[in-house]
Amino acid sequence: MTKHRRQGLSKRTRFEVFKRDQFKCQYCGVGAPDVLLVVDHIRAVVDGGGNDLLNLITACVSCNAGKAAVPLTDRTAVKKQLAQIGALADRREQLQMLIEWRDGLAAINEELVVLLVDKVNARLRPFGSHLNEVGAARVRGWLQRFGLDSALHGIQSAFESSAETLLDQMEQFAAAALKVAREPELRDFWRIRARLRGRGFRYGPEWAPIQDMRRSFRAGWTIATMDAAADEAEDYNHFRSLIGYR
């Protein structure tokens, strides 16, 4: 009878088995770091089992000690290993697809940054100015913070008469556009606040009327009701009472 000698497994082989089995014992299901894992032979070495991946399985020390040279049912073990190797190949393929997708997004993002920089430089050209590296980095930040549509809105809407203040206003308008995109009613709140200010009403911090109108709107008061209240009110407290504050 031929005597089979056990050959040591390389660190890389053990790692590949652990990864395939998701660092979990395939007999009892416990995993690292709760237990110490080893690589077990499905068909024992003494019975001719080799070190190929189909014959290797992750086991905890306890299960490995209890199993000794008693194999799993060969058919069950092989089917399980084939399924796991197939799933691992699928995960690797999906990971590669994800990497390619992210690389594609990065390339598109760079194209959008160039677009925004060109738009800003076109607005700055009448002032005899253009973006330097710091300014271009600032515009790159707009894309991340506000998104393309809001950033473009800010660039197109700014009207200040100097290069320095124009860039600041672009950023402010882009931030405002993003807020309106998230809360469409906000544009009406700003409009009504401007009317209240025009009538000389005192209301404290600039955000106070916005917060009051936002709460009333969520409670069921309409924009039309707030418009009418802005015309009818005698002062700001009266306006608040007309939109539901008592």
Q: What is the pLDDT of residue 32?
A: 77
Q: Tell whether 126 and 174 lie within a shared domain.
A: yes
Digits of tens for pLDDT over the chain (246 positions)?
444 455 678 888 888 888 888 888 888 888 877 788 888 888 777 777 788 888 888 888 888 876 544 455 556 666 666 676 666 666 666 666 667 777 888 888 999 999 999 999 999 999 999 999 999 999 999 999 999 999 999 999 999 888 889 999 999 999 999 999 999 999 999 999 999 999 999 998 999 999 999 999 999 999 999 999 999 999 999 999 999 987
In a domain, 64, yes or no: yes
Q: Tell whether 165 and 192 lie within a shared domain.
A: no
Contact 44, 71 (CB under 8 A): yes
3-state secondary structure of 31: strand
Q: Tell whether 202 and 143 lie within a shared domain.
A: no
- Domain of 17, in residue numbers: 11-72
3-state SS track over 33-83: CCCCEEEEECCCHHHCCCCCHHHEEEEEHHHHHHHCCCCCCHHHHHHHHHH
**Of the candidates 131, 164, 182, which is a domain's last residue?**
182
The distance in angstroms from the start CA to the end CA of the chain is 98
Q: From 83, 65, 75, select the one nearest 27 (Cα to Cα).
A: 65
In a domain, 130, yes or no: yes
Residue 177 exposure: Cα atoms within 13 Å on the Cβ side: 22
Q: Tell whether 176 and 198 lie within a shared domain.
A: no
Q: Tell whether 190 and 178 lie within a shared domain.
A: no
Q: Tell whether 158 and 200 lie within a shared domain.
A: no
Q: Tell whether 169 and 124 lie within a shared domain.
A: yes
3-state secondary structure of 178: helix
Q: Tell whether 146 and 195 lie within a shared domain.
A: no
Q: Tell whether 112 and 172 lie within a shared domain.
A: yes
Q: Tell whether 178 and 193 lie within a shared domain.
A: no
Total domains in the chain come to 3
In a domain, 158, yes or no: yes
Q: Tell whether 134 and 198 lie within a shared domain.
A: no
3-state secondary structure of 21: coil
Burial 96-114 (b: 16+ CB within 10 A, else e): eeeeeeeeeeeeeeeeebe
CA distance 230 to 198: 10
Write down the H helix ranges in the chain: 11-20, 61-67, 74-124, 133-157, 163-182, 186-198, 207-219, 223-232, 236-242
In a domain, 165, yes or no: yes
In a domain, 174, yes or no: yes
